Amino acid sequence: MEAVNEMKLRTVADLDPSGLRVLLRADLNVPLSSGRVADDTRIRAIVPTVQWLTSRGARVALLSHLGRPDGAVVEELRMGPVAARVAEILQADVSSLPDCAGPDVDRAMDRLPPGHVVVLENVRFYPEEEQDDPGFAEKLSAAFDTFVNDAFATAHRAHASTVGVTRFLPAYAGLLMEREVEVLSGVREHPRRPYYILVGGKKAKDKLGVLTDLLSRVDGFLVGGGVAFTFLAAQGHAVGRSVVDPSLVDTLRALLRQAEATGREIVLPEDVVVAQELRAGAETKVVPAHAIPEGWMGLDIGPATVQRFAAVLAQAGTVVWTGPLGAFEHPPFGAGTSAVAHALVSSSAFSVVGGGETGEAVAKLGISHQLGYVSTGGGATLDFLRGKPMPALEALRAS
């Protein structure tokens, strides 16, 4: 695939949207609690594009997925609460439609005044969405004049609402999509050195591609979270009841040898916080990472590891962070994630935080604005940095 920093995308700057019916693919896959949006970060991220379009007289329909309904209507995953939050943020009347394609959408777009917004129903209520079904893509496109994609978090997927519709409508990148590509291209192609990736999260298999594909491009990895315990097991250490993927032990052992042979650092925890069960208020203790007692599980990095990671971050030029370093959502196992996040803020490195749980963690800590860039993508961010194909970006390529 051609390097994306050399790819010229068609953007909304190339579009006169006055009076046009615009289908705006957004990532409004937000957490809900008691029928309300619990975290509106992703909604706020697309506001500049919405306002750019509406201020120029476009009639905008927001299209997104929400959760994993697996191609069926799930009442708890309807877009009504999302539309309500969009209305609050925009301080405007925003209605939610009962479908994302068909006569209801046609009528709504015909009636919608210029400068106004509607929210379409969850596109993943249709199994044809994830199949990139051409007939469904045509139905999604029927009520519109043009398509704008601002959902970077889905850019690595070839779905009807991200790629299929571009076969029926002129397609442009939104302001958020454009900014994501700009920032991540800089990191991928010309990172300030030393370049480290801070790797956490629950499962080693989820990060294996990052570790193997980026080993030759980075100066090192700092590994925490559940990922670390399969590494420790690969070194022959006792890890108690900690999460380990036995199928990856040989692979990670080989990766450690490769890193040593090529002069790349893989910094593993020196100590960990352990407990016998994952719950708030559980008895905890700090133990050496290489000697976790039988019956205990590692649930956070320990203070010595925090100091070691902080020392590396202090001299880094670029840091990409993907995955919390402990079970941060369960006190007291969020201390390591919090301490390292603040160390990253104090560093002079340019920091990029991958979306998903890592983005949620820094948002809860209230430090998102102090970091270099918080991406809205999770898997998409990592795929981009790894140089993997990004079908939705290819569909926006300028001719």
Q: Which residues are catalytic?
A: 42, 203, 356, 379
CA distance linking residue 53 with residue 44, whole number of Å: 15
CA distance linking residue 16 with residue 353, whole number of Å: 33
Q: For the range 372-377, what are the long-range contacts, defined as Cβ-Cβ under 8 Å and sequence gap of 24 or more?
A: 373/183, 375/152, 375/180, 375/183, 375/184, 376/27, 376/41, 376/42, 376/45, 376/152, 376/153, 376/176, 376/180, 377/152, 377/153, 377/155, 377/180
Q: Are 391 and 162 in contact (CB under 8 A)?
A: yes
CA distance linking residue 268 with residue 359, whole number of Å: 22
CA distance linking residue 224 with residue 228, whole number of Å: 5
